[in-house]
Chain A
Amino acid sequence: MYRLMLLIRRFEETCGQHYSLGNIRGFLHLYIGQEATGIGAITPLEARDYIVTHYRDHGHALARGLDTNRIMAEMFGKRTGLSKGKGGSMHIFDAAKHFMGGHAIVGAQLPLAAGIALAQQYLETDVVTMVFFGDGATNQGTFHETLNLASVWQLPIIFFMENNLYGMGSAVGRVRLQGADFSDAMGAYDIHTVSVDGMDVVAVREATQAAIDKVRAQRSPIFIEARTFRFVGHSFADPGDQYRERSEVDLWRRRDPLVSYPNRLIEYGLATQSDLDDLAQDVDAEIAAAVDFASNSPEPELSEAFDDVYA
């Protein structure tokens, strides 16, 4: 898990560099700070389970084991990218890995995920669908509609809320009377809620594993709220310091999973510093190879703009 955590962090830092260089364009939303949440949530899933997520999706894609080269190539808009360069950073898909996007309208992915879960119910599988969204999505109509649908139809779905406390520049307390506390919010839908520290990868993993087991067996929805924080701005265009106090960012940075988790591994004797250094080298090589792959990949042919419109 440490390797994956480092992979996401380095991948995101590298994306930032290549955004500055002009190799990556459009909007770029980095997952820096939230790694423990995505990894703890996704690694307990089985290959047959489905994932649907939001536009801050690179970390989820890497945690799901999507090909690093092809994700980076998609960032660069190259034809070797997962979506052949036509999706971009916010729309990462790998249908073979049941990774169903990458969705960029806040909250719009929730009904889609409910439909995938409905299909599992219809087909009588034991597959679990996990949908990610942030605190910002909780004020969309689709959020309430989908929770009700999942509840009334008892869909086998995990609503995984990454509560990073800010919907772009709006602190959750400014847009929601109850503030950041979602522990009672699901009562109206009679959906079981679990709250977990999103900065603690082990805690997230354990809570999620328990939720997955329950949904798989009982075929009913569960809501998980992970409290987390992005250390960087909403997107690369946002320095992230206009609406948050420096002290708040510093407070969360002191809980950086990239520091706390490796320290814990060493403390418990599960790894040595030299093991971790080896992993870091390995990750750096993987990222360098991904950048090479993306840089050296061809642009799409102009005719490809007309492909994949219809099946």
Chain B
Amino acid sequence: MAEITIREAITLGLAEAIETDESVFIMGEDIGEYGGAYSVTKGFLQKYGDKRIKDTPISEAAFVGAGIGAAAAGLRPVVELMSMSFSLVAFDQIVNMAANLRYMSGGQIKVPMVIRAPTGAGVQLGATHSQSFETWLAEVPGMYCACPSNPYDALGLLRSSIKSDNPVIFAEHSHLYGSRGDVPQDYFDIPLGKAKVTQSGDDLTLVSYGYGVHIMQQAAEQMSQHGVTSEIIDLRSLSPIDYDTLVASVQKTGRVVMLDTARRTGGMMSEIVSEVQERAMDWLDGPVMRVGSKDVPWPYNRVLEQDILPTADDVVEAARQVIKF
């Protein structure tokens, strides 16, 4: 067991894949010479060479598409987007090619490919660089979407993502690269679509993923001072969603607050709320509450941006709508 950061966990997972599987290569903007915009692949070019570590032109559609083609021809590319916001430039390739190819070829083609990208707002990057399109992509059938909240999950999910024969969107919240946690030395992996109950409780279920899990922990601590015990569910994957774990918790607590660091309206939490009330209405003691970022473009100004982001206080306030404390 060693305590490492999420950045180190992802670096570890990528290096291990390069070293153990000759079909794995990494491609993206400034991942080689520069070492990666978030330093995840620092030193990789020197260590593994330019065949395995490919710097690309600033052509997201072309290099994401090239990753898909390479995957269709038998390789296992890990493609890095410098920001999840830039996925928009490659959306046609991701949705129409990566996700649809298998279906529209009647199962003849598989696309074993991972698209990694830093995501999330909160560091004053303004409207174009702060968006969390993993919530849009998670809706698309034919792909999976992983959203780790800690180093253990980051490594375990990355291993499963690279081994998957399907395209996987791997969303890395930019606030979390320095977040620390214990990771065992022995090999383990975490299946895609398996949520984790990170804290057990009886009064309330708190659901989130990625950075949102950390906000939920703060909220749970605040509420515990009022005698409310919260069960926290870290979804770990936005596609597929682990409804069995969610429903089991709802059956225990009867009250749910969900948190999305992406915009509140139209995100995956809206979908999950809908599904949970369909599956577990008889156990619910109140409305399923949903907290998210406010529905405006991301402002640059720090005070405004912080006001748009959801906080632990917002979660506590939402909880008060369904439970008295």
Interface string of B60-99 (1 = CB under 8 A from A): 0111111111111111010000000000000011001100
B57 contacts partner chain A, Cβ-Cβ < 8 Å = yes
Q: Is the CB of A116 within 8 A of B73?
A: yes
Q: Which of A35-43, A104-112, A202-210, A211-219 contacts B (4 or more CB under 8 A)?
A: A104-112
User: Most A CB atoms within 10 A — which of B64, B97, B106, B166?
Assistant: B106
With A108-B65, A309-B142, A310-B142 already in contact, the answer to whether A93 and B70 are too (CB < 8 A) is no
- Smallest distance from the beta carbon of B81 to chain A beta carbons, Å? 14
Contact of B75 among A114, A122, A149, A311 (CB under 8 A): A122
- Smallest distance from the beta carbon of B160 to chain A beta carbons, Å? 13
Contact of B73 among A50, A110, A149, A309 (CB under 8 A): A50
With A83-B108, A105-B92 already in contact, the answer to whether A118 and B70 are too (CB < 8 A) is yes
With A309-B141, A311-B110, A311-B166 already in contact, the answer to whether A149 and B105 are too (CB < 8 A) is no
Q: Is the CB of A309 within 8 A of B102?
A: yes
* Cα A101 to Cα B71 with chains together (Å): 15
Q: Is the CB of B141 within 8 A of A101?
A: no
* Cα A84 to Cα B56 with chains together (Å): 36
Q: Is the CB of A122 within 8 A of B70?
A: yes
Q: Which residues of B contact A149 (CB under 8 A)?
A: 56-57, 59, 62-63, 66
Q: Is the CB of B65 within 8 A of A115?
A: yes
Q: Is the CB of A86 within 8 A of B104?
A: yes
Q: Which residues of B contact A100 (CB under 8 A)?
A: 69, 72, 109
Q: Is the CB of B104 within 8 A of A91?
A: yes
Q: Which residues of A contact B51 (CB under 8 A)?
A: 122
Instruction: State how many residues of chain B have any CB contact under 8 Å with chain A.
Output: 41
With A145-B61, A146-B62, A149-B62 already in contact, the answer to whether A116 and B72 are too (CB < 8 A) is yes
Q: Is the CB of B105 within 8 A of A111?
A: no
Q: Is the CB of B68 within 8 A of A81?
A: no
A271 contacts partner chain B, Cβ-Cβ < 8 Å = no
In B139-170, which residues have CB < 8 Å from any A CB? 141-142, 164-166
Q: Is the CB of B97 within 8 A of A142?
A: no
- Smallest distance from the beta carbon of B154 to chain A beta carbons, Å? 23
In A116-130, which residues have CB < 8 Å from any B CB? 116-120, 122-123
Q: Which residues of A contact B61 (CB under 8 A)?
A: 111, 141-142, 145
Q: Is the CB of A81 within 8 A of B106?
A: yes
Q: Is the CB of A145 within 8 A of B104?
A: no
Closest B residue to A90 by beta carbon equals B104
A94 contacts partner chain B, Cβ-Cβ < 8 Å = yes
Q: Is the CB of A120 within 8 A of B108?
A: no
User: Most B CB atoms within 10 A — which of A83, A114, A310?
Assistant: A310
In A132-150, which residues have CB < 8 Å from any B CB? 141-142, 145-146, 148-149
- Smallest distance from the beta carbon of B38 to chain A beta carbons, Å? 24
Q: Which residues of B contact A87 (CB under 8 A)?
A: 104-106
Closest A residue to B67 by beta carbon equals A115
Contact of A83 among B25, B70, B106, B112 (CB under 8 A): B106
Interface string of A131-171 (1 = CB under 8 A from B): 00000000001100110110010000000000000000000
- Smallest distance from the beta carbon of A129 to chain B beta carbons, Å? 8
Q: Which residues of B contact A110 (CB under 8 A)?
A: 62, 65
Q: Which residues of B contact A152 (CB under 8 A)?
A: 57
With A83-B106, A95-B108, A311-B165 already in contact, the answer to whether A108 and B66 are too (CB < 8 A) is no
Contact of A93 among B66, B74, B93, B108 (CB under 8 A): B108
- Smallest distance from the beta carbon of B144 to chain A beta carbons, Å? 8
- Smallest distance from the beta carbon of B146 to chain A beta carbons, Å? 14
Closest B residue to A114 by beta carbon equals B66
Closest A residue to B111 by beta carbon equals A311
Closest B residue to A52 by beta carbon equals B69
User: Which A positions have Cβ atoms within 8 angstroms of B?
Assistant: 50, 52, 81-88, 91, 93-96, 100-103, 105, 108, 110-120, 122-123, 141-142, 145-146, 148-149, 152, 307-311
Beyond A86-B106, A145-B61, 7 additional pairs, beta carbon < 8 A: A83-B105, A94-B108, A111-B68, A114-B65, A118-B66, A148-B62, A309-B142
